[in-house]
Amino acid sequence: MAKLWGGRFAKNTDAMVEEFTSSIAFDQRMYREDIAGSIAHARMLAKCGIIETEEAETIITGLSGILADIEAGNFSFEVSLEDIHMNIEKRLTERIGPVGGKLHTARSRNDQVALDTHMYLKREIADIAERLVDLQQSILETAEKHKTIIMPGYTHLQRAQPILFSHHLMAYFFMLARDFSRLGGVWERTDIMPLGAGALAGTTFPIDRFFVAEQLGFNKVYENSLDAVSDRDYVLEFLSFASILMMHLSRLSEEIILWSTAEFSFIELDDAHCTGSSIMPQKKNPDVSELVRGKSGRVFGHLMAMLTIAKGLPLAYNKDFQEDKEGLFDTIDTVKFSITVYAAMIKAMRINGNRMEQTLTQDFSNATDMADYLVKKGLPFRQAHEVVGKSVRYCIENGKFLMDLSLEEFRQFSPLFAEDIQDAIRVETCVANRNSFGGTSYQQVELAIKSAQQTVISEREKAKMFTASK
């Protein structure tokens, strides 16, 4: 088949090279963006007197018909035509005749594919933003529902201090809030219009790039044609955002996997979000969390691949950039799946608050509060630390916990202990007294939840803005 660019060539492309260089297998998903960009380009060409108005109308009608064909499943993409741009352009020329060939005036596939990718990513960012807020809402609602349950807090995966379960969950809410903020930054750098840069140097035709940007909902236009066709920073930023988000979800996955074990039994996942074993009838496996944890590595790999692709490329366009899309598309699909399934899973999981609180009766997570008690009595913290350390060792040697000690036993270690020591180291007191801003006290968690409610409202408005201007 003759190529639309074949005038310079004396030989046909080798079939293996044709298959190797083709991108239609994956870039066909950008057909909406490609057609929308071409319609805006045709209108601009007519506005600027580069083609006749009637020609532009014929082109737009033809493109609209092709869009309908693709949506109806009546369009066959051809590998020999390489990419989404050439597939649509050839069908357009077949449908409306030679006037279809005028559409490519004052543009190159270099700025065309850049435009499609910008537009496609904008659309997906808007979708991901809405899903991300839904996940935050799910976490927030679960925290509100169980805001007085006390659980062990951990460092080094060893019990450390008692905290509210809601406080633990809200840590993930605020991680995701930072992710949402990062996504807003990606949107800003994606919302720049590259069309009109041509292959690399602009065009000799009197085009109006700002008209095209307005038609397509872009707020900015690239100021340098070389940069316009070779910039993939926005792709890298999205992959970076996605990697950090998936890292956060992977950390949450690890905790959910641990909490759902018989050894912890802090939570029980809904049957709808688990799978069984083909050989062990009793099994209920947290496959969703395990898959999200595993898929994080896949997304990290796409970021590393894109950084590696871009690091050695001279200006302007290079065929290497064809490799930007498969990783980007896969990351988009992975992120959307992960955050959507997680929102449903968190809402449906059962919290075993009694089990969480029961574990706190058999550990030394109130030891810091015992040291703080002595400090408030005037003992320097380092000395208080030693006193409590000796008390803990005594308990271990005698099969006791701090709450089991009598006042006489406490006073073996310091005369500063008084009758109020038992109340001071109750887990409820330990939690309530951590009232510094951002702490785990009931009051601070209540304030955090109220703040998060306002954050969700604000983020939903931003997500609507993304959707309205995509």
Q: What percent of the chain shows pLDDT beyond 90? A: 93
Residue 209's nearest CA partner among 197, 201, 224 is 197
* pLDDT of 207 strictly over 70: yes
State residue 26's pLDDT score: 86
pLDDT tens-digit series, residues 421-438: 999 999 999 999 999 999
Question: What is the band of 9 on the pLDDT scale with cuts at 50, 70, 90?
Answer: low
Tokens of 197: 């840069």
* pLDDT of 12 strictly over 90: no
* Range scoring the smallest mean pLDDT among 25-29, 56-60, 291-295: 25-29
Annotated active-site positions, please? Answer: 156, 277
- Say what the pTM is: 0.93
Average pLDDT rounded to a whole number, residues 126-133: 98
* pLDDT of 453 strictly over 70: yes
Average pLDDT rounded to a whole number, residues 355-366: 95
Cα–Cα distance for residue pair 426/411, rounded to 1 Å: 18
The backbone torsions φ and ψ at residue 351, rounded to the nearest 5 degrees and listed phi first, read -100, 125
Is 364-433 a CATH 1.10.40.30 domain?
A: yes
Q: How many Cα neighbours within 13 Å face the side chain of 456? A: 19
State residue 3's pLDDT score: 58
Average pLDDT rounded to a whole number, residues 350-369: 96
* pLDDT of 1 strictly over 60: no
Average pLDDT value over all residues in the chain = 95
Cα–Cα distance for residue pair 328/320, rounded to 1 Å: 14
Average pLDDT rounded to a whole number, residues 384-400: 97
Average pLDDT rounded to a whole number, residues 185-210: 98
Domain regions of the chain by residue span: 15-105, 110-200+223-357, 364-433
State residue 280's pLDDT score: 92
* pLDDT of 375 strictly over 70: yes
State residue 4's pLDDT score: 59
- List the beta bridge partners of residue 193: 221
State residue 213's pLDDT score: 98
State residue 469's pLDDT score: 77
Average pLDDT rounded to a whole number, residues 459-469: 92
Helices 109-145 and 324-348, packing angle to 10 deg: 10
Cα–Cα distance for residue pair 72/220, rounded to 1 Å: 34
* pLDDT of 395 strictly over 60: yes
State residue 82's pLDDT score: 87
User: How many residues are listed for the chain in this entry?
Assistant: 470
Average pLDDT rounded to a whole number, residues 398-402: 96
- CATH number (1.10.275.10, 1.10.1610.10, 1.10.220.10, 1.50.10.20) of 15-105 reads 1.10.275.10
Q: Is 61 left (phi over 0), alpha (psi -120 to 50) or beta?
A: alpha
Which of residues 277 and 37 earns the better pLDDT score?
37
Residue 369's nearest CA partner among 357, 390, 384 is 384
Question: What is the band of 15 on the pLDDT scale with cuts at 50, 70, 90?
Answer: confident
| CATH architecture of residue range(s) 110-200+223-357 | Up-down Bundle (1.20)
The residue with tokens 């990513």 is 121
State residue 65's pLDDT score: 98
Alpha carbon dihedral 193, 196, 199, 205, in 10-degree steps, equals 180
State residue 149's pLDDT score: 98
Which of residues 49 and 13 earns the better pLDDT score?
49
Average pLDDT rounded to a whole number, residues 80-98: 94
